[in-house]
Structure 1
Amino acid sequence: MDSPAQTPAPVRRVAITPGARRVLDAAARLFYERGIHAVGVDLIAAEAGVTKKTLYDRFGSKEQLVVEYLAARDEHWREFLDERLGAAGKSAEDRVLAVFEASRAWSERFSTRGCSMVNAHAEIDDPRHPAHAVITGQKAWMLALFTSLVGDLAPDRARALARTLMLLHEGALVAYGLDVFPDPLGAAREQARALLEAG
C-alpha cells in the first residue's frame, strides 16, 4: 500500500521588477547552460549588468533565485503544454500523445541539454532546499496530468497506466538530454500509443 504523499510547503515567490527580470534572465541562461552550483552570484550580476547588492535586494539569496528560475520554467512549460492540449483531438489517446509531442517540441526549442527539473534535481536533492518543492511539484503535476488524461480511458487502472506513461515520458526526457539515440521522445510516443491501443 502506498504511503500518503506529504503536502509540500508553499513555494515563496518574489515580485519581478525590470531589474529583477534582467537578473532572472541571466541566471536562467547560466543555470541551464552551466549548472546551478557552477554559477555564482558575481557572474549572474555581471551578466545582468547589475550590482550584487541589486541581486540580493531583489531576491534575497541565490537559493531564491533558483526557485524563481525553476518556477518560471515550470509556468512556461505548463502554458506551452496547455496550448498543445487545446489543439489536440478530444480522445484520451490524442491528448496523451499530445503531451509527448509537446515535450518533443519543447525539448528541441528550450531544453537542448535535457529537462531542467531533472538537471536541477541532480544538484539539489535536499528536501529542505526551497527549490526542491518546485522540482518535485512539477513532476507530481505531470503524473496527475497523465492520471487525469487516462481516467476515462481506463478508470479501473488509471493510476497504474499513468505511472507507466510517466516512466516513458521521463525516461525519454533523460535520453534526450544524454543524446544516446535519435528522437527518444518520438520513440516514447509510439510506445505510449501501443500501450493505449492494447487497452
Structure 2
Amino acid sequence: MRPNKRDELVRKALQVFYKSGFHATGMDKLVVETGVSKTSMYKHFRTKEELILAALRLRDENFRNWFLRRVQELADTPAEQLLASFDALGEWFNEDGFRGCMFIKAGAEFQEKEHPIHVQAAEHKRALLEYFTDLARKAGARNPEALGCQILLLKEGAIVTAVLLKSCDPARDAKAAARVLLDAALA
C-alpha cells in the first residue's frame, strides 16, 4: 500500500529531526529537507510540536518492532533475550547514520515533565522497561522489577556512550555487566 502524504511527511520529518535535532530544525529547514511546502505541512499539522509527536510515535513503532523482533531472532529463552538485547544494540550502533536515541534527545530538549513531547519520550522508555521486566520475570529473576530497571539503565548508558565515546565497545561492555546482574538475579 502506498503511503499517504501525511505519512510520507512524518517519515521524512523523522529523518530530519533525527539528523538535526528538534529545536535546531525549523519549519523552513523541514520544507527544504522534506520537499513539502509549509502550506501542506500546516494542512496536516497545526504546529511543529504536533509533527514532532507524530515523528516520535513513528520512531517508537519502528524501533520497538525492530528491536523486539531482532532480540527474538538472536535468542530463544527470556534470559538469553535479555543479553541478546545488547547484541541488537551493537548492530544499531554500527549502522551508518547512527546518532543515538531520539527519545533521549527529546527528553533533553523538552525537559518540562508535563510537556507532551517529554511525555512521549518517557512513554517509549516505560514501554522498554516493561519489556525488560517481563523478560526478567519469565527468566525467573527474584526481583524482576529491579532487574528490568538495571537492564534499561545499561541500555540507555550504552546508547549515550556509543554516541560520545569511540574508544569503548558499549554494547559488549553493557552485555557483560548485564550478565553479572542476570546471574545474581537468578542465583
Q: SS at 1:131's partner residue?
A: helix
* Counterpart-to-counterpart distance in 2, 1:77 and 1:110: 16
Q: SS at 1:109's partner residue?
A: coil
Aligned residue type for 2:161: A
Q: 1:163, CA displacement in angstroms?
A: 1.4
CA offset digits 1:82-138 (Å, max 9, x no partner): 222332433222110121112222232276221111111110112333222220011
Conserved 8 A contact 1:36-1:120: yes
The alignment's TM-score, normalised by the length of structure 1, stands at 0.83
1:52 to 10, 32, 38: 38
Matched, 1:102 2:102: no
Looking at secondary structure, tell me which structure has more helix per residue.
2
* Counterpart-to-counterpart distance in 1, 2:141 and 2:183: 15
What is the aligned residue count? 184
1:159 to 134, 142, 145: 145
Q: Which runs of 4+ in 1 moved over 4 A?
A: none
Aligned residue type for 1:165: I
2:167 to 168, 181, 187: 181
Which residue pairs with 1:141 in the alignment?
A: 127
What 5-or-longer segments of structure 2 have no aligned partner?
none
Shift in CA distance, 78/111, structure 1 to aligned 2, threshold 3 Å: farther
Which residue pairs with 1:13 in the alignment?
A: none
* Counterpart-to-counterpart distance in 1, 2:96 and 2:146: 30
Compute the RMSD of aligned alpha carbons: 2.1
Q: 1:155, CA displacement in angstroms?
A: 4.4
Conserved 8 A contact 1:23-1:44: no
* Counterpart-to-counterpart distance in 2, 1:81 and 1:183: 19
Shift in CA distance, 173/34, structure 1 to aligned 2, threshold 3 Å: same
* Counterpart-to-counterpart distance in 2, 1:116 and 1:108: 16
Matched, 1:29 2:12: no
- The percent of aligned pairs where both chains have the same amino acid is 32
- Summarize the alignment of residues 95-134 of structure 1 with structure 2, pairs less than 5 Å apart: 95-109=81-95, 112-134=98-120
Conserved 8 A contact 2:107-2:117: no
